[in-house]
Amino acid sequence: MNRKSIYFKVKLNSIFIISIIIAGIAVSMLIAAFTLKSSNSYPTVNKARIITKEAMDCIEENFYSKNFNQLNSLNFRTQILDLSGNIIYNNYDERSGNIGIKGNVSYDMNFSSLNDNIVKFASPVVVDGTQTGISVFFIQKAALIKNNVLKNVFIIFLPLIIALVIIFITLLYYVYQTKKQFVNPILDINNSAEAIIKGDFGKKIKYNNDTEVGKLCASFEMMRDELKESIERERRLENSRKELITCISHDLRTPIASIKAYVDGIMDGLAKDEDTLSRYLSIISRKTQILTKLINDLFEHCQTELDKLKIEKREVYSGEFLKHISNELSLEFRNSNYEFEVIKDIPNVLINIDPLRIEQVIYNLIQNAKKYTEDGEKIIFGAEIEDGYLKIFVKDNGYGIESIDLPYIFDKFYRGEKARNSDKGGSGLGLSICKYIVEKHGGQIFVESGKEKGSSFYFVIPKI
Ligand code: ADP
């Protein structure tokens, strides 16, 4: 039988209670037996001694003068014998002459029950330190045990009282344990279920995982956590969808409006010379690029939401792969005002990646570095080996990121203070897509930055 089952525990508890009751009654009866035994002997002998004390004094004082009249007035009867058993005095019966001491006067049991009502009590008569005779008293039994009746009744009922007290305490303990182990957790489950119905997932249940009820509580808690998590996920998704619609409409509208304005300008003949026309066209081209990036980001965001962004990994050497990218970037930067530096010692290790996706991450970081850095500033690209990982980095000495924005920049749709208050465009999706891609490669992405301190973005990929 399972030692943790309720059935086992109830059975064990019942056996425990019954054993305690039996043990209690047995102990109480033993105590009672001892008490009764002692109350039947010593206390009664003592009582007999006390009752006969006056008579003994009279007998010992008058043993030789034989003046025992005083004994007649006492409420018990007396026989006085000399050491040979000759009756010297007798007010108990008519007998005279000799009494066999051995047969009739018990020395070892100087106290014995004569019949139902009379108790015979023998005591030596000692005069001047020498035993001179024997006195035998016939005392009403009632006089000896009268005072003990109540006590005896109490002694008889003592085991029962003790047993009842033990049963009561045990039952109290049992009720307390049952309440603690079974009733309270079930009430807690009930309260928690009611709270869940009202949308409150915060009510935790205290339980001991050892019992079936504990396991029920643990399962309930797991269910509550799952439910809470899935509802929160649902809420986040819903908010994310709402944000997406708001962002799409806002972010698409801005570049489209400006493209339309420049196209209208050209059609209205505002671009009168070659220079103005080419300026208008380059603005339209930049806005189109922003639009394309936005639409791509949105598309990829939807793919990541569905966990369907295609990642096709293959083994490549980091040296060749990163050099190819840095050459392309150097070419791109040649026509810009930025200072672009590639760290010389690019490590050459074998990595298992989707080259297009990792390239996308690097380009995203470079685009951000350009976006959030003034013209003429420096952007550094490089890689190194750290703890078995290939660590790729993009550093700039641009605006940096405010500390309040720092924890959220990898969240979907999050745009920092600088991005929100500028016309730099962006969906706030770029870094969240980078994070998704890097994590799909078993890596991590992180940033070191501070306001006006530039930003250093790093991501690591395990090498093979
Ligand atoms: P966005 O489309 O707004 O650039 P991202 O997901 O790429 O979206 O970046 C999120 C936010 O992180 C940005 O809005 C910006 O505030 C901040 N950020 C990203 N890269 C840099 C950087 N190199 N320098 C400063 N801030 C940055």
Q: Model pTM? A: 0.52
For ligand 1, the distance from its centroid to the CA atom of residue 352, given in whole angstroms, is: 27
Instruction: Count other Cβ atoms within 10 Å, centred on residue 329.
Output: 18
Say what the pLDDT of residue 2 is: 57
Separation of alpha carbons 252 and 250, rounded Å = 6
- Residue 389: helix, strand or coil by DSSP? strand
Which tokens belong to 167? 């049963």
For ligand 1, the distance from its centroid to the CA atom of residue 135, given in whole angstroms, is: 122
Q: What is the edge-to-edge ordering of all strands in the sheet holding 111-113?
A: 87-90, 77-82, 130-140, 118-127, 111-113
Instruction: Provide the pairing of β-strand 314-317 with 130-140.
Output: unpaired
**pLDDT truncated to tens, each residue of the chain (464 aa)?**
555 556 667 667 777 877 777 777 777 777 766 766 555 544 467 888 888 999 999 999 999 998 998 998 998 999 999 988 899 999 988 888 888 777 777 654 445 555 667 888 888 999 999 999 999 888 887 777 655 556 666 776 777 788 778 888 887 888 888 888 888 888 889 999 999 988 888 888 887 777 788 888 889 999 999 999 888 878 877 876 777 677 667 777 878 888 999 999 999 998 889 999 999 999 999 889 888 888 888 888 888 877 888 899 999 999 999 999 999 999 989 888 999 999 999 999 999 999 999 999 999 999 999 999 988 899 999 999 999 999 999 999 999 999 989 999 998 878 887 676 666 667 788 999 999 999 999 999 999 999 999 999 999 999 99
Return the best residue to mutate from 360, 409, 411, 458 for the ligand 1 pocket (most ligand atoms within 8 A of CB).
409
Name the closest-CA residue to atom 12, ligand 1.
409
454 CB under 6 A from ligand 1?
no
Name the closest-CA residue to atom 8, ligand 1.
428
368 CB under 6 A from ligand 1?
yes
For ligand 1, the distance from its centroid to the CA atom of residue 424, given in whole angstroms, is: 10
Please return the burial class of 281, using the count of CB atoms within 10 Å of its CB with bins 0-12, 13-18 and 19+. middle
Tell which residue, 305, 295, 310, has the closest CA to residue 356.
310
399 CB under 6 A from ligand 1?
yes
